[in-house]
Structure 1
């Protein structure tokens, strides 16, 4: 009897050990599927590069616009290009920046300030008719826009209405940036330019 009790005790110990070591089945949970990336149009890189940029300084021209008047922006670029050679201490002779800030959605039409300029290493000299604008440090989603500027609205629609809502980011407080360098050709279908969307 004593021997039987020892054997039973031994088997109970083994069963207890197995129950502790073996994983218990877990109840099934409703795990949501990973969000599907939106299908990007051919005008834009589907996934941006996330970058953090330090503060930098531009010299150029500034003007306020609304949705109704923003068609005048190309003329603003023409005016800037006509004076660009007057800017001294340029950080690069192949880059130009378009900057949007002071965004106002309170009225019936979006209003904003647009700046066209070049990065400089010194503001000792500012050409007549131009001003200094300091771009604050910020985190950005950097997209590439491919092709004509006529399709730029398609790219912006994708960024703000498709990519951003499912990205896990919110719109940041920094300036909206456009970078034009030697890869940009206003008349070429193989043109490339870059959009920096502030995020947080």
Structure 2
């Protein structure tokens, strides 16, 4: 694939929102070696316990330490697998509620296997951020909706990288 195949990244502003779900600390390798999938299944099995769910889309939020030497392959960071809620209700046992403030984001749709997601992240955090002069905040998130088919080439995942 060459750069021309990339869909256009665009900047949007999202209002504040709330999520409820599981929070874990892990590096990328650990998360991808099965930890992420098992948390996803637990969340899916318990989704009816979450009050005021806005929709059926699962959100994977990733919060990074603001440390210049941070390397997501080797260093632990926070993963929150969650659903968006219209308002904060009672949070189920073992889960957390998390509030996200209004922010600008660059949004970009990854197409293809989930295992190739790093290519899209490299594009947004590397090339796009460099070329546009934007600066990322300390988190991003993915939305897994009805287009989420991790093992399929038809897979599409919307990425949102928070901008300063």
- TM-score by shorter chain over 0.5: yes
RMSD of Structure 2 on Structure 1 (CA): 2.0
C-alpha separation between the residues in 1 aligned to 2:27 and 2:4?
26
Higher relative contact order (CA 8 A, sep 6+): 2
**Aligned counterpart, 2:47:** 84
C-alpha separation between the residues in 1 aligned to 2:51 and 2:70?
39
Q: Deviations over 1:53-105 (max 9, x none)?
A: 11100110000112442222222212211211221211113x11110114254
Q: Does 1:69 align with 2:30?
A: yes
Mapping of residues 4-19 of structure 1, within 5 Å: none
**Aligned counterpart, 1:184:** 148
C-alpha separation between the residues in 2 aligned to 1:163 and 1:107?
20
Q: Does 1:103 align with 2:65?
A: yes
Task: Point out where structure 2 has 5 or more consecutive residues left out of the alignment.
Answer: none
Task: Point out where structure 1 has 5 or more consecutive residues left out of the alignment.
Answer: 1-38
Q: Which moved more, 1:96-105 or 1:175-184?
A: 96-105
C-alpha separation between the residues in 1 aligned to 2:105 and 2:66?
20
Q: Deviations over 1:142-199 (max 9, x none)?
A: 00000110111111112122221111211234x3111111222223311211000112
Q: Is the 8 A contact 1:41 1:154 kept in 2?
A: no
Tell me, what secondary structure is at the counterpart of 1:123?
A: coil
C-alpha separation between the residues in 2 aligned to 1:127 and 1:172?
29
Q: Which moved more, 1:182-191 or 1:114-123?
A: 182-191
Q: Highest Rg: 1 or 2?
A: 1
Q: Which moved more, 1:68-77 or 1:58-67?
A: 68-77
Q: Does 1:121 align with 2:86?
A: yes
Tell me, what secondary structure is at the counterpart of 2:117?
A: helix
Q: TM-score, normalised by structure 2?
A: 0.85
**Aligned counterpart, 1:169:** 134
- Rate the CA distance shift 1:58–1:172 in 2: closer, same or farther, 3 A: same
Q: Is the 8 A contact 1:145 1:152 kept in 2?
A: yes
The number of aligned residues is: 158
Q: TM-score, normalised by structure 1?
A: 0.71
Q: Is the 8 A contact 1:41 1:155 kept in 2?
A: no
